[in-house]
Chains A and B, each alone.
Chain A
């Protein structure tokens, strides 16, 4: 089945610091990979995605590259802002016991706090 392991944190940074949140996956084949962000009290928002190996997803200054050789999809941002404080989830289709790709399997989430 498919699974994802995500750095749990919490991560605390100062404004303008460099961010990396690690995500590695186990999957059958080469599924699409996603990063979602959840701001306090809100639902999840799709941050970026990559659909095949070596693809780079990017949005709002965040980037992640689909690395099949290391089965990783690490999230990076060169200079974080206070407004980036949120919980970040790595995800891929499929479940840990196989079955339908209708299910998204999520990492446990990484809480990022950015201080001014």
Chain B
């Protein structure tokens, strides 16, 4: 069966520091991968998606970036965090275009 992991689970970072969040999927090949952010108030915002190694599509311009160095690894990064980057970051995967399966999330607090 497929599983999805995210780490760290919780992160507290100062403003201006770098960020690296990691997501890995097991039990499937060539998945589509996604990064979402959920701010206070529960709305979900798609940040990036990837349909293959090295292929990244950005949905919202911001100071975040994503990379996919391996088939089942998806990384969310920032060179300098802003206060507004605080939130709950969710990684998801799918095969094809439809049903997406989510990881446990990383809670980021920027101080």
Point out residues on A near B: beta carbons under 8 Å.
32, 34, 36, 38, 42-46, 49, 87, 89, 93, 100-104, 106, 108-109, 111
Is B74 engaged at the interface, CB distance under 8 Å to the other chain? no
Q: How far is the CA of A26 from the CA of B109 in the complex (A)?
A: 35
Chain A interface main SS type: strand
Q: How far is the CA of A100 from the CA of B94 in the complex (A)?
A: 14
Please indicate the chain B residues that have their CB under 8 angstroms from the CB of A104 in the complex.
46, 100
Q: How far is the CA of A109 from the CA of B41 in the complex (A)?
A: 9
Chain B interface main SS type: strand
A103 contacts B105, C-beta separation under 8 Å: no
Q: How far is the CA of A116 from the CA of B46 in the complex (A)?
A: 36
Q: How far is the CA of A106 from the CA of B102 in the complex (A)?
A: 14
B51 contacts A111, C-beta separation under 8 Å: no
Please indicate the chain B residues that have their CB under 8 angstroms from the CB of A111 in the complex.
42
A101 contacts B43, C-beta separation under 8 Å: no
Q: How far is the CA of A111 from the CA of B40 in the complex (A)?
A: 13
User: Can you show 19 pairs from A to B with CB atoms below 8 A apart?
Assistant: A43-B102, A43-B104, A44-B102, A45-B102, A89-B44, A100-B97, A101-B97, A102-B34, A102-B51, A102-B97, A103-B46, A103-B49, A104-B46, A104-B100, A108-B41, A108-B43, A109-B43, A109-B44, A111-B42
